[in-house]
Structure 1
Amino acid sequence: MSQPVLLDNVKHHDLRLISRHGADLGDNVNLALVVPTEFAEVQREYPILFRQSEGGTFQAFALLGLETDENLYLDETGWQARYIPAIQARGPFRIGLRENETGEAGEPMIMMDPDHPRLSRSEGEPLFRPHGGHAPALERILQTLRTLHIGNEASRHMFAAFEAAGLLAPVNIEIRFDETTQYKLPGFFSISREALAGLDGDALQKLNAAGFLGLAFHVVASMGNISRLIDMKNRRRTLAPA
C-alpha cells in the first residue's frame, strides 16, 4: 500500500470508485476482520471466529475460505453474499485523525490509498457530484467507515466482557473431504455454548446491559455457516479440472 493521502473534493473531483469485487481487487482472502457493529449481518453469511495476538488482544474475523488466499464467496461474477464485511467494502479508504495544536488526535478525516486498484478516473462510480457534495458511492463508504470506527472501539470492551464472563474458548476446526484432502484451522477461539448456557442471572444481566449478550449469540449462531463453507468447497472441488 502506498502512503495514504487526504481525500480532497478539489484534487479528486473526478475520481471514481470501482465497486465490483474480484481477486484482482484484493478480495481473494480467506479471513476478513469484522467488528461488533456488523455482527448481526455477518453471522447470517459467515462463521465468526476469534484470534488472539501475541500480546493477548483478541480480534474477530469472518472465515471466507479454508485455504490461504481463498474466498469461497467470490467467483467470476463477483461476491456471492448479501453482506460484504466492512473491511473489504471500504476499499481504498480509511479514517485518519488530524493532530490538533497540542499534538493530540483531533477530528477524523477520510484518507485513501491513491494507488489502490479500485480507484480510477475513467471507470466506476463518481465519488463527488458534478457541482459539489458527496455522490452515493462516497456516502456508502462513509457509512462503512463509521461502522468500522465505532466497532473498533466497541471490540475492546466486548472481548473484555466475554473474558470476564468466561465465554471464550479455543476451537480447532478440522474438515475432512477424503483420505487425502483435509483442512485444519488451529488457533481460533469462539464463544463456548456450555459457558453461555451456564451463566447466572447477574452475568446475563451485565452482558445484556452492555449490549454484548446478543453479540455472543450471533457468534454462536454463525458457526452453522461452516457447513455452508464445506458445501461451497465441495462444489469447487467437483468443478475443478482433474
Structure 2
Amino acid sequence: MSNHQILNPTDHGALRVRADAAPELGDGVMSCLVVPSEFRRLACEYPIFFRFDGESRSFAALALFGFEGGENLFLEDGRWDAASRPFAMAVQPFLVGRPQGGQGAGQVHIDMDHPRVVLAGGEGVRVFDDAGQPSPWLEEVAGMLGALDEGYRASGEFYAALDRHDLLEPFSMDVTLDNGASHRLVGYHLINEEKLRALDAAALAGLHDAGHLEPIFMALASLGNLGKLVRRKNRRADG
C-alpha cells in the first residue's frame, strides 16, 4: 500500500526521513529502474541491462544489484557501498506527481506509508527547517527527482532509436560461485555490439546528434561490473 501526499511544510513540517540504507527501508531489491541520462554516472558501479515490459510493450533499463530476488550486494553495515546510487533509490520516499490530467509542472509527493518516513520526534533527516523552508537535504533530493523525471520523459526517444536500428538482443547468463552455487540471469537484453559496429556513418552521426550514442557506450561499458558483482556475491557467501 502507499499513501501519496503533496509535500508541504504545513502538513509535513515536523517530518523526518531515514537516510541510511537497509533492506527494511526499501533497499532490499535486486535491481531498479535507471534512465539513459544517468548511465554515465552509474556505469562504473553497476551492470546495466534492458528488460522488455510486455504490458507496456516497451523497454526500460535496470541497474543490477544482485542475482536473486531481494538481494542487494551493495548494502554494507547501514550504508550503500558505492560512489553513487541510481536516482530511483536515492529519492525514496519521494516521487514526482502531477495535477489531475497529467499536465502541468511536476510536484514533489511523499509516500507517507514508506518505511523511511519518521514522524515527529523520531530519528532522521529534517525535511523542512523551523521556518518551513526546504532543508538542504530536501533540495538535493528535489534536484534528483527533477533529473529522474526529465530523464524518464526523454527516454522514449532513446528506446525508439534502439528499436529502429535493432540494437537490443536477448541475454542470459549462468553465474557459478566459488562454493558451487549457481544463479541464472534470464529475461534481460543488452546492446548488440556487432549490429552497432555495422551501422553506417549517417546512422552513427544521427545517434550522436540525438545524444543516444553516449548512453549506448556507457551501457556496454557497465557490463564489466558483472565480474565485480560476482566477487561481491562470493565474499558474501564466504562470510
Question: What's the TM-score, normalizing by structure 1?
Answer: 0.93
Q: Taking structure 2 as the reference length, what is the TM-score of the superposition?
A: 0.94
CA gap of 1:73–1:128, structure 2 versus 1, over 3 A, is same
Structure 2 residue aligned with 1:76: 77
Asked whether the 8 Å contact 1:175–1:184 carries over to 2, the reply is yes
Tell me whether 220-229 or 163-172 shows the greater mean CA deviation.
163-172
Tell me the SS of whatever aligns to 1:32: strand
Where does residue 27 of structure 1 map in the other structure? 27
Alignment of structure 1 residues 1-242 onto 2, 5 Å: 1-55=1-55, 56-99=57-100, 103=101, 105-120=103-118, 121=120, 122-177=122-177, 180-239=180-239
Deviations 1:16-36 (A, max 9, x none): 121111111010111111011
* Higher mean C-alpha deviation, range 111-120 or range 220-229: 111-120
Letter in 2 for 1:2: S
Where in structure 1 are there 5+ consecutive unaligned residues?
Answer: none
Compared CA separation, residues 8 and 161, structure 1 to 2 (3 A): same
**Displacement of 1:180 after TM fit?**
4.7
Greater shift in the superposed pair: 176-185 or 162-171: 176-185
CA contact (8 A) 2:37 2:215 kept: no
Task: Tell me by how many angstroms 1:178 deviates.
Answer: 5.8
2:125 is aligned with what amino acid? E
Amino acid corresponding to residue 77 of structure 1 in structure 2: G
**Equivalent residues of 2:50, 2:189 under 8 A apart:** yes
How many aligned residue pairs are there?
236
Letter in 1 for 2:98: L
Q: Which runs of 4+ in 1 moved over 3 A?
A: none
* Equivalent-residue separation in structure 2 for 1:15 and 1:202 (angstroms): 53
Percent identity of the aligned residues? 37
Q: Is the 8 A contact 2:178 2:234 kept in 1?
A: no
SS of the aligned residue for 1:196 comes to helix
What do you get for the CA RMSD once the two structures are aligned? 1.4
**Unaligned stretches of 5+ in structure 2?**
none
Maintained 8 Å contact 2:33/2:60: yes
